[in-house]
Amino acid sequence: MIGAIEILIIAVIFGIIYGRDAIDKTFRKSANEGVVESMAGDLKEYYQEDPKRMVKLGAMIVGAIAFLVTGAYWAITRTDFLKMIGLDQ
């Protein structure tokens, strides 16, 4: 039987290998610019193609943050999470 740690190690290795390829293909970074400059250029091109997509992207980010905050609030208030981590008795 393969344990959880072995599966995690395999997933991390594949993530490193294929993640780098995806990042290199997605962001057209040249040697003389930083990551932020490259991402800013990509976002500028993304906006120029269709300005409404940036609004949708912003709404999706706000929705994802609201979902995560709501989930964390639920986990803290409705479960024994604070007892599990030793903050409540």
9-55 pLDDT, tens digit per residue, is 888 887 777 666 555 555 555 556 666 666 777 778 777 877 788 78
C-alpha span between 86 and 89 (Å, rounded): 7
Give the pair of three-digit tokens for residue 39: 């991402």
Residue 2 has pLDDT above 60, yes or no: yes
**Tokens 């959880």 found at:** 4
pTM attached to this predicted model: 0.46
Give pLDDT tens digits for 70-80: 998 888 888 88
- Report which secondary-structure segment, H or E, holds 63: helix 51-78
User: Are 38 and 29 spatial neighbours (Cβ–Cβ below 8 Å)?
Assistant: yes
Instruction: Give the dihedral sign, CA 31/33/39/41.
Output: negative
Instruction: Quote the pLDDT of residue 55.
Output: 83
Q: Where does residue 86 fall: left (phi above 0), alpha (psi -120 to 50 degrees), or beta otherwise?
A: left
